[in-house]
């Protein structure tokens, strides 16, 4: 069996970025990717089913994110601001979102006073347990589920405080042609530098000692390397060994595995619907961007400012975990019912006007098993452990290893891939 320099398991943004950095320094890299495509949780579906390219996974650049923007510039890929107006639909009333909740100011003051990190559920119970705060509690829990896709019982209050104190309202962008452009660019650069990318190559067993790493795939094929970068999602690392993409380590890096269990990883179901007409647009609602609601598929967005007949539904956190075993058609029905209630439309009419749909259940996708990481009270310490290589042979990379305001994003994945490649170059001359 021939030995390769470095094997990377996973061709998502972090694995590809690591390969790009390593191969630029002349390292021999092989990537093993379990799916029949690269990109992982970035998946731009080219025009076909829908009348334009659509994002099944990552869609927005959340803020002024240095590495993403630098790579886009290097690749000559443009992006555009995409934040339309925020609307809300509660108890059947659709209107512009009002931020007029005086309790929200009280929440920010109480957050500022917090000295020791606890879960957001505990924080709310301790500080806002009275009946008069019921609406505030519901709105915080729904935000934690919707945006962070997190379980409030373990989500860190400190991390949420940092997130809510940032003012990035104006800074949301989309990539022209989709995030897939960035993946294509990284793939092209990797290939030019001699990186080999193997698809349908699901790793199962990672056996390591002080000299080498041996990786065995599901089909029994074996690969030997000087070192390996494990760039699979946190959900896959947390999974039981019986899951199709789960990895078994021999010997087991016990400290690292404990740290993996301490980190938070959310749930998400994304639903894309294309209609005959953009019925949500009116003279009053010409710039409608996001709608938050109390429906079973609660969050929706348009393609504003690009004229489009596409609506995207978003179900995150525990509600997504609870509904993850529903069939595609059951989820589609929930989406139609939700839209009918939000926009006061007849369900049958909406079904007739529906031209195309796609339900993307990332929570049951065996190569993702969820959405993205969120901070628990223990995440910071766990990350310190996971950022250390195991015997200079196993290096972990992925969005969940990034420490900072862009947790869970493509920026986080790219930053982690870059950092781990640089670390590996230093360790292995
Ligand atoms: C629905 C959704 C919407 C999102 N929206 C945004 C957004 O708007 N903006 C944003 O910045 N971020 C967004 N994100 C998050 C972003 O997509 C991720 O943080 C980022 O793409 C993760 O990159 P990664 O390389 O860490 O992991 P991944 O992209 O998941 O890559 C890991 C790779 O490992 C492969 N793999 C898994 N197991 C094995 C195995 N056993 N053997 C071989 N290969 C394996 C997988 O197939 C995958 O290709 C979103 C995520 C989801 C799911």
Show which of 332, 362, 392 is a domain's final residue: 362
Please tell me whether residues 254 and 382 are part of one structural domain: yes
d(CA 403, CA 142): 24
367 alpha carbon to ligand 1 midpoint, in Å?
9
Whether the Cβ atoms of residue 41 and residue 369 lie closer than 8 Å to each other: no
Q: Is 67 a pocket residue for ligand 1 (Cβ < 6 Å)?
A: no
Domain harbouring 348, CATH code? 3.90.660.10
**pLDDT band of 91, cuts 50, 70, 90:** confident
* Longest CA span, the chain: 68
- Higher pLDDT: 103 or 249? It is 249
Q: Mutation test of ligand 1: which of 367, 370, 397 has the most ligand atoms closer than 8 Å to its C-beta?
A: 367
Show which of 316, 331, 362 is a domain's final residue: 362
CA distance from start to end of the chain: 23
Give yes or no for residue 29 having a pLDDT over 60: yes
Mean pLDDT of the chain: 95
Percentage, residues of the chain above pLDDT 90: 87
Question: For atom 5 of ligand 1, which residue has the closest CA?
Answer: 58
d(CA 230, CA 33): 11
Domain harbouring 401, CATH code? 3.50.50.60
Q: What is the mean pLDDT of residues 355-371?
A: 98
pLDDT of residue 92: 86
Q: Is 58 a pocket residue for ligand 1 (Cβ < 6 Å)?
A: yes
Minimum-distance ligand 1 atom for the alpha carbon of 398: 26
**pLDDT band of 296, cuts 50, 70, 90:** very high
Please tell me whether residues 244 and 283 are part of one structural domain: no
Assigned domain for 139 exists: yes
Assigned domain for 338 exists: yes
Please tell me whether residues 153 and 280 are part of one structural domain: yes
Minimum-distance ligand 1 atom for the alpha carbon of 244: 41
Minimum-distance ligand 1 atom for the alpha carbon of 247: 41
Instruction: Identify the CA nearest to 144 among candidates 408, 388, 382.
Output: 408
Percentage, residues of the chain above pLDDT 70: 98
Assigned domain for 75 exists: no
Q: What domain range includes position 107?
A: 84-169+267-362
**2 burial via Cβ count (<10 Å: 0-12, 13-18, 19+):** exposed
Give yes or no for residue 429 having a pLDDT over 70: no
Assigned domain for 309 exists: yes
Query: DSSP of 46-90, one letter per residue?
Result: PSSSSSS-EESS--EEES--HHHHHHHHHHT--EEE---EEEEEE
Encode burial over 341-358: b for 16+ CB neighbours within 10 A, e otherwise: bbbeeeeeebeeebeebb
In this structure, is the dihedral angle defined by the CA atoms of residues 356, 300, 41 and 218, taken in order, positive or negative?
Answer: negative
The count of structural domains within the chain is 2
Q: For residue range 384-410, what is the model confidence (pLDDT) as tens digits?
A: 999 999 999 999 999 999 998 888 999
**157 burial via Cβ count (<10 Å: 0-12, 13-18, 19+):** buried
Strands 288-293 and 299-301, by their bridges, are antiparallel
Question: For atom 11 of ligand 1, which residue has the closest CA?
Answer: 409
Please tell me whether residues 291 and 413 are part of one structural domain: no
Please, which residues have CB within 8 angstroms of residue 401's CB and are 6 or more apart in sequence? 383, 386, 387, 412, 416, 419, 420
Give yes or no for residue 170 having a pLDDT over 60: no
Of the CA atoms within 13 Å of residue 133, those in its CB half-sphere come to 16
Which residue is it, tokens 């230093």? 426
Q: For residue range 142-162, what is the model confidence (pLDDT) as tens digits?
A: 989 888 999 999 999 999 998
Q: What is the mean pLDDT of residues 173-202?
A: 97
Assigned domain for 182 exists: yes
Assigned domain for 74 exists: no
Q: What is the mean pLDDT of residues 160-187?
A: 88
Show which of 362, 396, 414 is a domain's final residue: 362
Instruction: Identify the CA nearest to 6 among candidates 25, 28, 32.
Output: 28
Please tell me whether residues 271 and 139 are part of one structural domain: yes
Q: For residue range 58-77, what is the model confidence (pLDDT) as tens digits?
A: 999 998 899 999 999 999 99
Report how far apart, in Å, the C-alpha atoms of 95 and of each of 130, 173, 307, 336, 341 are: 28, 24, 21, 19, 13
Please tell me whether residues 111 and 145 are part of one structural domain: yes
Whether the Cβ atoms of residue 61 and residue 173 lie closer than 8 Å to each other: yes
Please tell me whether residues 241 and 277 are part of one structural domain: no
Whether the Cβ atoms of residue 214 and residue 227 lie closer than 8 Å to each other: no
Please give the helix or strand (H or E) that residue 22 lies within, else none.
helix 13-24
Q: Is 370 a pocket residue for ligand 1 (Cβ < 6 Å)?
A: no
Please tell me whether residues 229 and 304 are part of one structural domain: no
**241 burial via Cβ count (<10 Å: 0-12, 13-18, 19+):** exposed
**pLDDT band of 166, cuts 50, 70, 90:** confident
Assigned domain for 62 exists: no
Q: For residue range 116-145, what is the model confidence (pLDDT) as tens digits?
A: 999 999 999 999 999 999 989 998 999 898
Please tell me whether residues 219 and 192 are part of one structural domain: yes
């Amino acid at each position: 069996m021939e030995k390769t320099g470095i094997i990377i398991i996973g061709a998502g943004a972090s694995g590809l970025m690591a390969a790009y950095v390593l191969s630029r320094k002349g390292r021999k890299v092989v990537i093993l990717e379990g799916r029949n495509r690269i990109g992982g949780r970035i998946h731009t579906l080219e025009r076909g089913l829908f009348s334009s390219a659509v994002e099944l996974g990552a869609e927005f650049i959340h803020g002024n994110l240095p590495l993403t923007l630098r790579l886009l510039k290097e690749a000559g890929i443009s992006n555009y601001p995409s934040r339309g107006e925020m609307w809300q639909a509660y108890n059947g009333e659709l209107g512009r979102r009002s931020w007029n909740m005086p309790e929200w100011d009280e929440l920010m003051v109480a957050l500022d006073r917090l000295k020791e990190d606890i879960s957001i559920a505990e924080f709310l119970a301790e500080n806002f347990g009275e009946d008069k705060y019921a609406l505030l509690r519901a709105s915080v829990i729904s935000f934690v589920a919707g945006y962070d896709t997190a379980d409030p019982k373990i989500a860190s209050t400190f991390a949420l405080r940092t997130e809510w104190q940032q003012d990035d309202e104006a800074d949301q962008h989309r990539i022209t042609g989709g995030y897939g452009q960035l993946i294509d660019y990284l793939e092209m650069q990797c290939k030019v530098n001699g990186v080999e990318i193997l698809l349908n190559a699901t790793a199962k067993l990672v056996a390591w000692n002080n000299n080498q790493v041996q990786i065995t795939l599901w089909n029994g094929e074996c690969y030997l390397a000087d070192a390996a970068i494990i760039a699979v999602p946190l959900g896959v690392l947390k999974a039981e060994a019986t899951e199709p993409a789960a990895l078994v380590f021999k010997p087991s890096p016990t400290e690292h595995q404990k740290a993996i269990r301490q980190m938070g990883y959310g749930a998400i179901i994304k639903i894309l619907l294309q209609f005959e007409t953009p019925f949500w647009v009116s003279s009053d609602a010409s710039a409608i961007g996001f709608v938050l609601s109390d429906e079973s598929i609660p969050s929706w967005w348009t393609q504003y400012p690009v004229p489009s007949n596409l609506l995207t539904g978003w179900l995150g956190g525990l509600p997504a975990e609870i509904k993850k075993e529903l069939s595609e058609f059951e989820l589609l029905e929930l989406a139609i019912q939700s839209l009918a209630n939000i926009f006061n439309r007849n369900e049958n009419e909406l079904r007739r006007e529906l031209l195309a749909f796609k339900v993307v259940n990332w929570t049951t996708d065996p190569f993702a098993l969820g959405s993205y990481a969120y901070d628990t009270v223990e995440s910071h310490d766990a990350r310190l452990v996971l950022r250390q290589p195991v015997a200079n042979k196993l290096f972990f990379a992925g969005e969940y290893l990034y420490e900072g305001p862009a947790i869970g994003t493509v920026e986080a994945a790219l930053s982690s891939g870059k950092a781990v490649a640089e670390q590996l170059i230093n360790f292995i001359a």
